[in-house]
Amino acid sequence: METRRGKLVVISGPSGAGKTTVCRELKQDPSVEFSVSATTRAMRPKEVDGVDYHFMDEAEFHRRREAGEFLESASYNGHYYGTLRQPMLDALASGRIFIVEIEVQGTQQLRDADVDGDFIFIIPPNVDELRRRLVNRRTNTPAEIEERLEIAAREMESEFLYDCSIPNDVLSETVVAVKERIGL
């Protein structure tokens, strides 16, 4: 009996758009495997290494990137982020949906490399709501929030990179729309 080939799903959008929350809901499905990104940023309270991110210093990150271990990698807000290649290959070979949550830079790299997948852009309702979400996280300084809002404005101009855009006005509706899109 032949195992069906899995599918790569890329979820992206500006910081605060809700992509992490959407992905958290999607990974409840047993046919979904969620990519655990590598990062050089500091661990936040309650985060667990290997669960939330693979935390590493810059030297290890660069060594692994040079060795070709990343599907994509990007610098964002002063830190490096990357998607490890092998977990994706394993998930696809086993017929699972492999979900990658990345920034626009990473999406551009995947597009430039002609990586086959379903690319979904999560759109925040408006800048005021985006600011409220970032403030409510209580993980960034006011200056960092302003920088993230500036980055978000630039990222919204990259919506053309995606196969579809889904607004995140009401989380439950957004999750349903993404599930329908990817066949869950």
Q: How far is CA 125 from CA 8, 14, 149, in A?
A: 26, 11, 13
Structure tokens that stand for 180 in this block: 């329908």
Q: What is the predicted pLDDT for the residue at 29?
A: 94
Residue 151 pLDDT:
81
Q: Which domains does the chain have, with CATH numbers?
A: 7-182 (3.40.50.300)
User: How many Å apart are CA 62 and CA 133, to the nearest integer?
Assistant: 32
Q: Write down the pLDDT at residue 71.
A: 92
Q: Please report, in angstroms and rounded to a whole number, the separation of the first and last CA atoms in the chain.
A: 23
Kindly give the confidence (pLDDT) of every residue in the chain, 184 residues in length, as a single tens digit, with 9 standing for 90 and above.
555 679 999 999 887 788 889 999 998 999 999 999 999 999 999 999 999 899 999 999 999 999 999 999 988 778 999 999 999 999 999 999 999 998 888 899 999 989 999 999 999 877 777 788 778 877 778 888 888 788 888 888 888 999 999 999 898 999 999 999 999 8
Query: Which strands sit side by side in the sheet containing 7-12, from one edge to the other?
Result: 32-34, 97-101, 7-12, 118-123, 164-167
- Residue 103 has a pLDDT of 84
